[in-house]
A and B are shown apart, each in its own frame.
Chain A
Amino acid sequence: MKDGLLTLLLVLPIVGAVIVSTLPQKETNLAKGVGLGVAILQFFASLPLLTRFDPKAVGYQFEQNVPWIEELGIHFHVGIDGFSLWIILLTTLLTPLCILVAWTTIKTRGAEFVAALLVLEAGMIGSLVSLDLIVFFTFWELMLVPMLLIIGVWGSEQRVAASVKFFLYTMLGSALMLAAIIYLAVQHYNASDGVWTFDLIALQEVILTPEQQLYCFWAFALSFAIKVPLFPVHTWLPDAHTQAPTPGSVILAGVLLKLGSYGLIRFAFPLFPLAAGEGAQVLASLAVAGIVYGALVAWVQTDAKRLVAYSSVSHMGFIVLGIAGFSVQGLTGATFQSLGHGLTTGALFMAIGMLYERRHTRLLSEFGGLAKVMPWFTACFMLAMLGSVGLPGLVGFVGEFLILVGTYTHGGLMLFDVPVLLIIAATGVVLGAVYLLHLFQKMMFGKVTHDANAALHDLTLREALVFVPVLVLIVGMGLYPKPFIERIDPTSKAAVQSFTHKRCVSIVASNVGRAVLAADVADVESACAEPEAVIARTYGDQRVTTLRKKAREAARARAKAAAANRADAEAQPADAQPAEAQPADAQPDRGGAK
């Protein structure tokens, strides 16, 4: 199917950026206006994605596959499915809003800012649509530059340090990912007798050995974990958020972080299912730790933006947890929650940005009693906050609910001790209320203690215009999530199915000792007729702790017995002792010798 729509979505912002940057320097408003026009055009151009998207179809839609570097099999291959559809739409929605936000917040070099934002949009959409790893990597890196500029040029006082931190963190992951991409392509080359390709669909057919999968998976996962950001590699985020200008924060929280979780779903897990199955526990543990950790740290922040940034760490933990469980509901929930988090956190950042514009401070102690002064602003802030808290009926709940349900009921194939993980994760529900209500009370309630706050004006028309679409979505997606979920769900189903199958194939092929194509594995059809059973047999039923422990003990006992038998077999020719007492005696000796 030849369809140029996605290409159009990539070209349009770039063209817009070029036009904007060639406009006369002084005409900042003209530049912003043109940028806004391009972004709105882009939004409307992206709507056919929604109307023409077939919710029931499995596989990629709006596909386009054009050779780029044929010698290496690199194609400009783009296409979308349920995972990327909504995030693309979120991107095209948030970008015009960001330009609206930037209207007054960005005072210097307005044209360059808008151009950077448009290039960033192209980069994000490109990363979301590419189905070729090299194309993906190109766009992935392309995103970095405008984001670096947005933080580094238009940020607050510590902007350079923050942008460098952001850049280095991300580059660390990217470098490893590039190495893994090339390694994977080489393995495909070897396994397929000399066919170069970087196409995602083709590379999914390569079954790496367990060890190869391990390294490649973690190279990918680290890159995406940094982007998400997962718990121990999250420290770039608070700095980046605090220093970035408001539109930068909105885009960063709204879309950029989601590319991390999207990457996990799209690349890291399906490409290396065996390692993913074993690494999921680590990811989930870190995610759960991040949920609690982010929430607790957010609680003690004094800077509003930092607080929301840490809340992102907490919320993104939920998303990674949903992915790590790799269940249908978990994936759907994670994607849905990506949208929800993008909207709610985006709205929170917008709100804090509006206050910053008025007061030039983000310290909680500088505010208080704003509910009296700015009632409409408070109402908008509250709705966004409640959405973030996960109040049922608003967007946050649906995603969290799906993630928890999916992980609890179907996470057993990926994770150990699911109930324990979920109990800890669910405390995030309590802690989320703690820090967000703390934020809300400090800013909105109480008496107006600072004179500067008494004269603040409420929302302007432009600001209201920015809030309305986001808030409508926050409520609408919470009350009627069906149109969203029904476009994600079939993709999740297919993803889980192919993931489980490939995981099973990897298990079957793990004794080959080198990378092979899935089609070349012997007896795939019969061996993986029931992939769940094979996986459960291999890893033991992880759903219940005790059962898991029993399985482990049984496996250990079997290994011991096998070792003892081997010892017998070796010992027997040497001396003709009866073998009855042998195993019990031989065992401690071997241990001692080692």
Chain B
Amino acid sequence: MEHTLLWIPLFPLMGAIFNLLFGGLIKRWAGPRIGKEVAHLVAIGAVAFSCFFVFSLVMQPGHGLGFMHLLQTGNLREIIPGPGRSGHRIVDQVYPWIVSGDTIVYFELLLDNLSGLMCMIITGVGLLIHIFSVGYMANDEGYHRYFAYLNLFMASMLILVLGKSLVLTFVGWEGVGLCSYLLIGFWFTDEAKATAGRKAFITNRIGDFGVILGMLILFSVVGSLDYDAIRGSCASVADTPLLADETAIFGVSAATAATLCLFLGCTGKSAQIPLYVWLPDAMAGPTPVSALIHAATMVTAGIYLCVRLNFLFALAPLTMAIIALIGGVTAFFAATIAITQNDIKKVLAYSTVSQLGYMFLAVGMGAWTSAMFHVMTHAFFKACLFLGSGAVIEACHHNQDIRTMGGLRKKMPVTRITFLLSCLAIAGIPPLSGFFSKDEILLHAYVDWSAWSPGLNYAGYLLGLAAALCTAMYMFRLYFLAFAGSWRGDSHTWEHHVKEHGIMSLPLVILAVLATFGGFLGYPHALPGHDKLPHMLDAWLEPVTSISRAFTGEYQLGVRTQLDGAPLWFADADRHITAAAEFTFMGVSVAVAFVGLGLAYALYRNGPSSQAASWAKRLGLLHALSRGKYFVDEIYKALILGPLYRLSQVLWLGVDQTIIDDLGVRGVAGTVSVIGNGVRIWHNGSLRRYLVMLVLGATVVLGSVYCNPRVSQVGPNVLNPTDPGGLRPQQGGVPVDWSRWWYRDADPPTAKAPARSAAQAPRPGVQAPPVAPAGPAARGGVR
């Protein structure tokens, strides 16, 4: 099959192009109703096609990626070819894209276990959200435009994960950024929403700046940006010493420098400190967009990139430590903000930032599989939460303030149950999906240790636990405020608007099911029945992550497990984590989750309570900081944006207009014109004065020629006073006798010719007279 993989992003792309070019025309010709039908049928059809393609490729028995084999045997080992276990993979080289000099970038797609997993999440969740959008956007003017952007996003995201080289991933990376920009600012007539879109794009661009630098560093060291080539270089670090040489670039190894730069990109795309600020604002977009782009798929691109390049990150201990730290801090930091927000989508946005922090904590600990596990479960429950919130917002007539909701459980049972299940999942209550993935991350945070700073993992673990507490609390605060208690809004809305849409419920249900049971794909070793239900994700991703585990201790590695060291309380003699230890970790995190849940129940079970208000008052400054989102936006504006803008003003008005133009260019021109004005006095139009000047000028010129011995043979020699000068044409050195010359025919001057004297010899440096010596002497016989 030629170009199998190309179809996966191509279908949505064609859908997008169709809707962009013809959507408006169809709407005009066939009426709005048919126009909408066509628009969403094309869009959903396109996504359904690529979804079908992905699933069939992944699950095809025999070839494919061996998903069925995994389901049957619990591992992939038997079907993976080769000793290096590079995995079963499908590569589709479409065409050479940029080929110049020694830079060769192919447009090449790769479907392996990692991108297969991501593709399934993207197309699966994407399809559900497309369907949800049909209901949510039903009354929107830009219906076809919306679906076109959504399809474009799907195409970009699929290119991002399918790209076989960093450059191609970057194409998708920027493409999703563009779609995010377009969709956040979808209702562009509202200036604030357009600004939110711009903020997202520019913040992401700051991250992309890092990605570009990372690509440059990698290219200069590896000589290619193909993932396989980078993998090869990392596998044999000895051949590419710069990768691990601690002095390669600005005092760090190339791997560290490149990964730090790439991680800057990840903080942009995946909304981590310091570049997370765009994500809460991005909630200005339509809610399904928030679900798809800003929760389930695009924001996980950063984690995908790290896991894709796990072999490279594993070589960079400093980067890993920074990632873990930033991930942990972000998880906690964003969770504390989420507790006090009143906008339903803002809560979910900060929750997303926090959960992404978890994933980066896992990445920083080298727990690649756990990170991907959480990406997956998060996609399920967060998409469900966002879609649920979308249903709520739609029902509440586009009011997003949870203080004016309440009691929605009575009128929206499906939404309520799916929302509750997702809340339980994200809070980490067993046996829902979030419990498994979060627990795994916390376990790794405790057990693995950073090579760069050994104590760091405990900090990460504690931050993660604290974030888990906050997560349970803010999620259930949200749930209780929205669904429990009684309606606090106006009665008109309650009577006429609050209801459920059929088409919007279907995706909710499917996602809730996935959020509930998705965790069993990563069933922990310690729990009973593990032999029947293995940790499938671990096996699935093993071909991708095996290489970074196979690195030996010869180089400074990012992460090693403490299991390698002395026996510890949580490990048995075989260096495996004991079941008891695993149960302990689970117990701790479940207990923490229940504490958070209990707090929320105590304070908000019947809507905002006086206790909650008094707690807020008691916490004072902390509460204010959290409510104000730690004023990060304001700080950025005051410290970076404002000064930069003023600097630009100074550059324009000061440097460009004043220094270069006024002083430089106009200065020169001005000088010339001042001189011109001065000289203008002479140019007064009086002919006679011109003539006087002419005569004077001619006199000066001729006089100077006459007096210059280098030019003239006739004038006085001003340089040599002893030279008498005068008009003395020297014919062969003989001076003319002026008095007799007129009568030369009668009286030839032959006898008078004196011998040539030394004094009359030509002066050195003076040219011989230009007169031909043969002239009069020969003809007239003067002498």
Contact = CB atoms under 8 A, between A and B. Distances in A.
Interface of A: 165, 168-169, 232, 235-236, 238, 293, 296-297, 299-301, 327-329, 332-333, 369, 371-372, 375, 379, 386, 391-393, 397-398, 401-402, 404-406, 408-410, 419, 422-423, 426-427, 429-430, 433-434, 437-438, 441, 444-447, 480-482, 485-486, 488-489, 492-493, 546
Contacts of A488: 100
Interface residues of B, number: 57
B591 interface: no
A398 B660 CA distance: 33
23 contacts: A168-B669, A296-B647, A297-B648, A299-B648, A300-B645, A300-B652, A301-B652, A329-B101, A392-B171, A392-B175, A393-B175, A406-B100, A406-B101, A408-B216, A408-B220, A422-B213, A422-B216, A423-B213, A430-B206, A441-B198, A445-B188, A485-B99, A485-B100
Contact of A482 (B99, B212, B647, B652): B99
Contact of B98 (A165, A422, A485, A546): A485
B171 A300 contact: no
A405 B20 contact: no
Contacts, number: 149
A236 B666 CA distance: 11
Contacts of A329: 100-103
Nearest to B170: A392
Contacts of B24: 375
Interface of B: 20, 24, 95-103, 167, 170-171, 173-175, 178, 181, 185, 188-191, 194-195, 198, 201-202, 205-206, 208-209, 212-213, 215-217, 219-220, 247, 249-250, 644-645, 647-649, 651-652, 655-656, 660-661, 664-665, 669
Contact of A419 (B191, B250, B644, B652): B250
A235 B651 contact: no
A401 B99 CA distance: 11
Given A371-B188, A437-B198, A441-B195, A328 B175 contact: no
Contacts of B665: 165, 169, 235-236
Given A446-B188, A447-B189, A482-B95, 20 more contacts: A165-B665, A169-B665, A293-B655, A296-B648, A300-B648, A328-B102, A391-B174, A392-B167, A392-B175, A393-B171, A393-B175, A401-B167, A402-B98, A405-B219, A409-B219, A419-B250, A422-B216, A426-B212, A429-B212, A445-B191
Contact of B20 (A379, A444, A445, A493): A379
A333 B105 CA distance: 14
What 4 pairs across the A-B complex have the smallest Cβ distances? A328-B101, A445-B194, A392-B171, A296-B648
Interface centre among B171, B205, B655 (most CB of A within 10 A): B205
Contacts of B644: 296
Nearest to A493: B101
B653 to A, nearest CB: 8
Given A332-B101, A480-B95, A482-B99, A437 B652 contact: no
A426 B100 contact: no
Contact of A402 (B100, B206, B649): B100
Contacts of B100: 328-329, 332-333, 402, 406, 485, 488-489, 492
Given A300-B649, A401-B167, A235 B656 contact: yes
Contact of B201 (A169, A379, A437): A437
Contacts of A427: 209
B209 A447 contact: no
B194 A398 contact: no
A430 B205 contact: yes
Interface of chain A: mostly helix, strand, loop or mixed: helix
Nearest to B141: A372
A238 B661 CA distance: 11
Nearest to B185: A445
B189 A445 contact: yes
A235 B202 contact: no
A582 B295 CA distance: 75
B97 A297 contact: no
Contacts of A546: 247
Contacts of B217: 408
Interface centre among A333, A392, A446, A488 (most CB of B within 10 A): A392
Nearest to A449: B191
A492 B651 CA distance: 36
A173 to B, nearest CB: 13
B174 A235 contact: no
A149 B181 CA distance: 42
Contacts of B208: 429-430
B648 A372 contact: no
Contacts of B213: 422-423, 426
B249 A419 contact: yes
B188 to A, nearest CB: 4
Contacts of A393: 171, 174-175
A69 B205 CA distance: 56
A465 to B, nearest CB: 16
A27 B296 CA distance: 63
B216 A405 contact: yes
A332 B645 CA distance: 34
Given A235-B656, A437-B201, A441-B194, A406 B103 contact: yes
A297 B173 CA distance: 28
B375 to A, nearest CB: 23
A300 B97 CA distance: 36
A332 B95 CA distance: 19
A422 B209 CA distance: 11
Given A405-B216, A409-B219, A446 B191 contact: yes
Nearest to B669: A168
A456 B493 CA distance: 39
A293 B96 CA distance: 35
Nearest to A409: B220
A429 B205 contact: yes
A559 to B, nearest CB: 27
A375 B205 CA distance: 26
Nearest to A168: B669
Contacts of B656: 235, 238, 297
